[in-house]
Amino acid sequence: MGEIDPSFIQSTEHRPKLASTEAEGIPLIDLSPLHNSPPDSTAMENLVAEIGNACKDWGFFQVINHGVSVNYRQAIESVSREFFKQSIEQKSKVKRDELNPMGYYDGEHTKNVRDWKEVFDFVMQVPTLIPASHEDGDEEVIMLLTQWPQYPPKFREACEEYTRETEKLSHKLLELISLSLGLPANRFSGCFKDQTSFTRLNYYPRCPIPDLALGVGRHKDAGALTVLAQDDVGGLEVKRKDGEWVRVKPTPDAYIVNVGDLIQVWSNDKYESVEHRVMVNSERERFSIPFFFNPAHYTMVEPVAELVANEQNPAKYRAFNWGKFVSARALSNFKKLDVENLQVYHFKTSG
C-alpha cells in the first residue's frame, strides 16, 4: 500500500466528517469488583448498573482492571507488527480465499476498496463451523481453519495465548450485560459452546490523504460483543445518539467494548449496536486487535423471552439463524450473492 490508489479516494459525497469532540468520550469502567475476594455486593451492583447505562446510552465503553495480563497484549502486538512488515508476497502465502475466509488480505484487493488497511484473521476453536450457504434448507457446513504463517517465530503462540484471555474477558462482560438486563448471569452462555468467534489483526499504514480515505467505513458489528485493543495512535470514532462522531481517546492498557447486532436483538432494542468507523493518519501507522465474540452457527437469535413477556413490550424481531446470517456476509466478500447483505433490520417485525 505504498502508492495511493485512486480507487481508495472517496467521492465528495462520502468524505468523512471529522469528529467534533474527544473530551466527552465513551464511559470508562473499572472492572475491579470482579476480582474482589470476598465479593462486594454493593460494588458489583454499581458495576452492573454502569455497564447497563453504557450499553443503553452509548453501545460502547472502555474497561480497565480487566484481568488480561499486559504481557499477552504486548506479545501479540509485537508479532503483529513483525508480520505486517513483511513483503506482500510473504504475507500472501496465507491469503484468505473463498474456501477459507481466515487469513491475510490487503484492503486494496477487497470489494470494499475504501478500507485503507491490511488484516489477518484467525479462529481458535477447532472445529469452527459456519453454513456453506445462506440459503434455507442447505444444511452443509464448512470448517474455518487458520492459516498460520511460518514467520514471525511464536506468532501462533502469541495469538492463541492472547485470544484465550480476551475470550475469558468476553464471557465476564456478557454476564455483566445479562445481569444489567435483569437476566441470570449465564443466560447466554449456552450459545457459545461451539462459538464462531475470531480475532483480527489490523494494520493501517500511513495515508498521504487522510481526509479522503477511511481505515474502515461506517458500520455496525454483527456479533454479540467486540473487545478491541488499540495502540496510542487512535482513530476509532463512535456515532453518538445525537448523530455526532466522537473520537475514542486511547487509554493505556484499556479495552474498548461494543455491543453488536445480536445483543441489540436479544435485548429487544434496549441496547443498540452503534455505528463506528476508523480514521487514517498521515504521520503514523496504526495497529489494533479486535476480538469478535460470536455464538455457535446453529444459534437461533430472537428477543429474550423474559424481556417480551407482555403486550406492552412485544418482540421487535423474528427469529433468525446466526450461521446463515454470518455466512451471507462472509461469502459476499468473494462473490456476488442473490440477496442483499443481511442486516438485523431485515428481521424486524411489522409491528
Question: What number is the average pLDDT over the span 308-331?
Answer: 86
Parallel/antiparallel/unpaired status of strands 198-204 and 118-122: antiparallel
Share of the chain above pLDDT 70, in %: 86
Summarize pLDDT for 183-241 with one digit per residue, the tens. 999 999 999 999 999 999 999 999 888 777 778 888 999 999 999 999 999 999 999 98
- In this prediction, residue 14 carries a pLDDT of 42
Summarize pLDDT for 272-306 with one digit per residue, the tens. 999 999 998 999 999 999 999 999 999 999 999 99
The CA-atom distances, in angstroms, between 98 and each of 128, 222, 334 are 16, 20, 6
Domains and CATH numbers, the chain: 6-347 (2.60.120.330)
Q: Which helix (H) or strand (E) holds 120?
A: strand 118-122
Residue carrying C-alpha cell 470489494: 111
Stronger pLDDT, 134 or 48, i.e. the higher one: 48
Question: What are the helix (H) ranges across 153-203?
Answer: 155-180
Question: What number is the average pLDDT over the span 16-27?
Answer: 56
- In this prediction, residue 139 carries a pLDDT of 80
Separation between Cα atoms, residue 52 and residue 41, nearest integer Å = 16
Neighbours of 324 (CB within 10 A): 18
Which of 22-26, 199-203, 266-270, 323-327 comes out lowest in average pLDDT? 22-26
Query: Which pLDDT band, with edges at 50, 70 and 90, does 114 fall under?
Result: low
Separation between Cα atoms, residue 144 and residue 162, nearest integer Å = 19
Q: Which three cell numbers stand for residue 251?
A: 487509554
Share of the chain above pLDDT 90, in %: 70
Question: What number is the average pLDDT over the span 248-270?
Answer: 97
In the chain, the amino acid numbered 273 is S
Parallel/antiparallel/unpaired status of strands 60-64 and 28-30: parallel
Determine if the pTM surpasses 0.85.
Answer: yes
Question: What number is the average pLDDT over the span 14-26?
Answer: 51
